[in-house]
C-alpha cells in the first residue's frame, strides 16, 4: 500500500469528527514509520476548522512517529492514545495534550439495540391426514 492510499484510509476513518471537545488550536505532524507506506501528514485544528493534509507542517505544536496500524487504532479508539504513547507504540515530541486531543476526534459508534423480536404468530395446529380419514369414516357411519 502506498503512503497516499494509507493516508486516505486514515482520513476516511477520522471522517467528520466531533470538534465540540476541542478547546485550543493545534497542529500535529504525523510521521508514519511503516516500510511500505511511510510518510508525513498533518492534522491541524485552527480557528474552529480541522485540516488533514498529506504534507509536512513545519510550525507544529507536536510531532508523532508511529506505525500506521497503531495510529489508526489510537485514532479510532481501539487503543487508548495515552497508553500507546506510554508503551512506546507512538512517540511524541511536543505537546502531549495536543496528541491526546486527536483521540477525541473519533465519534464512538453507537451500539445498536437488538431489535425486539416479534412473538411468533400462533396458528391452530393442522389436522393430520389420518385424523381427517377417521372423521370422514365416522361421518359416513352416522349417515348410514
> Which pTM does this prediction carry?
0.69
- Alpha-carbon span 144 to 132, nearest angstrom: 19
Look up cell 491541524; give the residue: 44
In terms of Cβ atoms closer than 10 Å to its own Cβ (0-12, 13-18, 19+), residue 31 is middle
User: Which tens digit of pLDDT belongs to each residue from 34-69?
Assistant: 888 889 999 999 988 899 999 999 899 999 999 999
Grid cell of 1 as nine digits: 500500500
Interacting residues of 119 by C-beta distance below 8 A, sequence separation 6+: none
**Residue ranges of domains in the chain, CATH in brackets:** 3-102 (3.30.1050.10)
User: Which tens digit of pLDDT belongs to each residue from 21-35?
Assistant: 888 999 999 999 988
CA torsion sign, 44 to 50 to 56 to 57?
negative
- Alpha-carbon span 3 to 33, nearest angstrom: 10
Using CA atoms, how far residue 69 sits from 12, 18, 53, in Å, is 14, 22, 18
Amino acid at each position: 500500500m502506498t503512503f497516499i492510499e494509507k493516508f486516505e484510509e486514515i482520513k476516511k476513518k477520522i471522517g467528520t469528527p466531533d470538534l465540540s471537545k476541542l478547546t485550543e488550536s493545534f497542529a500535529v505532524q504525523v510521521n508514519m514509520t511503516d516500510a511500505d507506506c511511510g510518510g508525513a501528514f498533518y492534522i491541524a485544528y485552527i480557528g474552529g476548522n480541522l485540516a488533514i493534509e498529506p504534507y509536512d507542517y513545519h510550525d507544529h505544536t507536536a510531532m508523532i512517529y508511529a506505525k500506521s496500524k497503531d495510529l489508526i487504532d489510537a485514532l479510532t479508539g481501539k487503543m487508548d492514545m495515552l497508553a500507546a504513547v506510554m508503551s512506546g507504540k507512538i512517540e511524541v515530541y511536543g505537546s502531549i495534550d495536543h496528541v491526546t486531543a486527536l483521540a477525541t476526534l473519533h465519534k464512538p459508534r453507537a451500539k445498536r439495540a437488538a431489535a425486539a423480536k416479534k412473538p411468533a404468530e400462533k396458528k391452530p395446529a393442522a389436522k393430520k391426514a389420518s385424523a381427517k380419514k377417521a372423521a370422514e369414516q365416522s361421518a359416513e357411519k352416522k349417515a348410514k
